Amino acid sequence: METEFTPFASLGGGAVIGLAAVLLMAFHGRIFGATGILSGILSPAGIWDWSWRAAVLAGMVSGPLAYLAVTGGMPDIAVPVSTPMLVIGGFVVGIGVTFGSGCTSGHGVCGNARLSPRSIAATLTFMLTTGVTVYLVRHVFGA
């Protein structure tokens, strides 16, 4: 399987994610954890809590539409696994987010920037598990 190396697009995307995390912390004192933002919209503490979460989620959803408007087309995305595997993977990630008290954006971007020991341990666990999973799927199970 061939992968596409896109250093400039990746750098730009990482810079925008970092900027969003810094702005959310600076203006609202909140961590930019995507799953926490999503779960908080389902049970907000009030209208102000709901509104900033809705704005962040709207920005996430509208990103591809902005890309379409700028470039005139959507990027080709190839998903090398079946839909059932994606569903299973989603459940496994959900379990990990629950037990890890956060997701890769909350721990990996914000927690590591704050030098949180819990976030550093969580990010190392994410990365190690990802590496082992990719190795098993590509080289042991041959998918």
53, amino acid identity: R
* CA angle in degrees (0–180, nearest 5) for 125-127-104: 80
- Condensed to tens digits (0 to 9), the pLDDT of residues 2-47 reads 667 788 988 998 899 899 889 998 998 888 888 888 888 888 788 8
Rounded to an integer, what distance in angstroms lies between the CA atom of residue 31 and that of residue 22?
Answer: 9
Task: Report the predicted TM-score, pTM, of the whole model to 2 decimal places.
Answer: 0.71
Rounded to an integer, what distance in angstroms lies between the CA atom of residue 127 and that of residue 87?
Answer: 20
Rounded to an integer, what distance in angstroms lies between the CA atom of residue 135 and that of residue 142?
Answer: 9
- Condensed to tens digits (0 to 9), the pLDDT of residues 61-78 reads 898 889 899 999 987 777
* Sequence spans of domains, the chain: 7-140
Rounded to an integer, what distance in angstroms lies between the CA atom of residue 140 and that of residue 143?
Answer: 8
Rounded to an integer, what distance in angstroms lies between the CA atom of residue 10 and that of residue 3?
Answer: 13
